[in-house]
Structure 1
Amino acid sequence: MYCIELTIKLSPIPLVVQRKEHGDAKRLYSEVIDCVQKGNPRLIELTCEKVEDKRVTVVVSEISAVQIYEKTSSGTSKRPGFSLQK
């Protein structure tokens, strides 16, 4: 499972949606980045493959960061973001 995490300006809690395939996650990540760069459309709606009815609509101009990471089935997942720890 792959997580696409959006950090929203002035919000302490990130928004996360999941994709089963790495290719699908990369496409969604690229789509969000493209929307942020162009500022068009004004809103972007995201869905989650893990929770089928989960939908979130975000104002594109409020997105301050986007990251993609793999969530493993074990209790430890690859730590999101950048870290000096291994």
Structure 2
Amino acid sequence: MFIIELTLKTNPIPLSVQRKSEEEAQTTYQAVVDAMKAGGNQLLELTCDRQSEKKLAIFADNLAAVQMYEKSSASSSGRTPGFFSMAES
């Protein structure tokens, strides 16, 4: 299972969706990055493969960061990979 984690500019708590395959995760990640590059009020609608009732709708201009990583049972610390830094707006 792969996690796509979104960080909003105004909220330090990340939002995430899961994808079953790496290819699907890469496609979702790239769609989010492309929307961030395009700017404007583009609305991203995402669903979660693991929890089909989980849905997110986010304006691309509210995104501060996106990261993709593989969920592994080996990491039991509860901490996600990568790093987090707040930027001044």
TM above 0.5, yes or no, is yes
TM-score by length of 1: 0.85
Runs of at least 4 residues of structure 1 off by over 6 A?
Answer: none
What percentage of residue pairs aligned between the two structures are identical? 43
- The whole-number CA distance in structure 2 between the counterparts of 1:42 and 1:27 is 17
- In the comparison of the two structures, how many residue pairs are matched? 82
Unmatched 5+ residue regions in structure 1? none
- More displaced stretch, 70-79 vs 40-49: 70-79
TM-score by length of 2: 0.82
Computed over aligned residues only, the root mean square deviation of the Cα atoms, in angstroms, reads 1.9
1:8 corresponds in structure 2 to 8
**Residue deviations 1:9-54, cap 9 Å, x none?**
1202100000010110001000000011012662100100000011
